[in-house]
Each structure stands twice: as structure tokens, then as C-alpha cells.
Amino acid sequence: MPTTAPAFSDATASDSALRRFLFGLPGVDAVGLEARAASLGTRSIKTTAKAYAIDLAISMIDLTTLEGADTPGKVRALAAKAVHPDPTDRTTPRTAAVCVYPDMVSTATAALAGSGVKVASVATAFPAGRAALDVKLADVRDAVAAGADEIDMVIDRGAFLSGRFLKVYEEILAVKAECGTARLKVIFETGELSTYDNIRRASWLGMLAGADFIKTSTGKVATNATPANTLLMLEAVRDFRAQTGVQIGVKPAGGIRTTKDAVKFLVLVNETAGEDWLDNHWFRFGASSLLNDLLMQRQKLSTGRYSGPDYVTVD
């Protein structure tokens, strides 16, 4: 992807031009946005469609461990679960990726070799993003050198909220350049951006800078992915493709724990961005506890019995 879509090259020519563009985006009708998200969340689906939705959701999960107590053994166990989420049923889809800190990438890469499951790594001083640019870029280089297929970076929310949009834009460009062939997910931490207008601006800023995915959250703050903020980001990628021909993925992360939640988000994708995004190349769930509920519901559909949490592995 070019550093900036040609249709918007003038918008990123200077700090003032970028500010004019971002503040020229249509304002968000918060009441309307939340009402539409709530309405779509009430859609019911038939049993056969539910079985399809469960398998699709499993295939879209970035199975994640981002704790200070992570060990190589835990990462290998998570990788094994990503490849065979339900060891009793080998028809269960693999997850999309395993997401770890940069120092665990080599362990994940070795464990997932040949499986088709991607290795994603958070970087750029995750989750706060409070570090000098050279430190952030070194973080990315280390992860890519260790074999990461995808990089999940956090933006500098302080710079964004103080209106230094060009700084955020240039930082994303610099990270993208370090990614090489790895795909870049840009995390906004929507819970800290305060307004829907800011989320819309951040979405367009990330896309203009070359993000392959825009992502709601780190999962480390009180407010993470919601139907409303994800709907807003889906509208942004839909409109961006309509104007540029470039398709960008979306990743809600944090707080999505049940099959019912996942189905609501898949309905949002289908009804807002469209079927082209109903694929793990373009939509992901940043969740781990979600997988266990999906597996339990999948077992119930196939056997007629609800197995309960003791029948799935603990992450």
C-alpha cells in the first residue's frame, strides 16, 4: 500500500492540512450510532446460521496472552490450542493468530510452524505507548526479526488528544516501514479517545498512514470494544474503500466474551461493511475467553448437550 492513498495525498501534506481534513469529517450522531448498533444486536439467527457463525468467529480470533507472567510453556500451550481448539473434534477451525509480546514471538513462531496460524505481536511500548520513537521502532524490528506475521501497535494518545495529528501519522508511517511484509494493526484505545468524533478521526488517520487493520483497544483499560465504536470503525473502512479502492481490516478487542457477543459483532460487519469483511483476513476478534464459550456452544449444537467450562482447556 502507498504511504497515503492518492485520493488523500493533499490531506497529509502538512499538520494544518491534516487537521483541516480530520475536522472536516462529518460529525457523529451519537444517539443514532448507538441506536443502530443496539438494533443490529437484536437480530436472531437460525441454528444452521449459528453453527456457521460460531466456526467463523473461532477462525477470526487472535488468541492472546499479554501478561508479565507469560512463559514459553504458556505460549506453547496457547499455540497448541490455536491449532486444535477442541482436541476432541478436529473439524473445529483454527484460530487466526496467536498474539504475544515481542520476546515471545520466537517461541510462538516455532510452535506454530506450518500450521497456518499467524503470529501477531504487540509493539511500540504496548499498552501505554509512552516511549521514544526509536525505542518503539526497535520493538517492532525485534518482533519482525523473530518471525511475527503481524504487528499490533498503539498510537500516542497523548499526541492525538492534544491535536498533534501529524506526529501520530508520521509515527504510524515509520512503524509501517519497519513491518516489511508483516501486516500492521493500529490500536486507538477508543476508551481513552472520549468521543465518537475522535474515534472517527483516529480511524481515518490510521488508514491514511497505511494501517492494514484498525483496532479498538488494548484490552487493558476499563472501556474496550463496544458495538457502537466498532460500528463506527466499520463505517470508516467501508467509506475508505469506496473512495480509494483500498480495503482495511477491523479488530475489536477486549470485553467480547460470549458467543452471543461475537454473533452481534458479525451482524454489524455484514450489515455495515458487507460480506467482503466476513473473513479473518479482514476481521478479527482480540479475545481469548471468547474461544471457550464458542467451543461450548459448538459442542452443544453438535451433541445437544451443554458440556460446561470443565470440558474446555483453561487459557
Task: Supply the residues annotated as catalytic.
Answer: 152, 215, 251
Q: What is the chain's Cα-based Rg?
A: 19
Whole-angstrom distance, CA of residue 196 vs CA of residue 236: 12
Beta strands 285-286 and 183-187 are: unpaired
What's the CA gap between 113 and 177, in Å, rounded? 25
What type of residue sits at position 6?
P
Going by C-alpha positions, the residue among 192, 198, 193, 174 that lies closest to residue 184 is 174
Q: Which residues contact 47 (CB under 8 A, 6 or more apart)?
A: 301
Cα–Cα distance for residue pair 172/136, rounded to 1 Å: 11
Per-residue CA distances from 169 to 70, 101, 260, 303 (Å): 32, 24, 36, 51
Task: Identify the sign of the CA torsion 127, 160, 213, 50.
Answer: positive
User: What is the spatial distance between Cα 26 and Cα 181, in angstroms, rounded to a whole number?
Assistant: 34
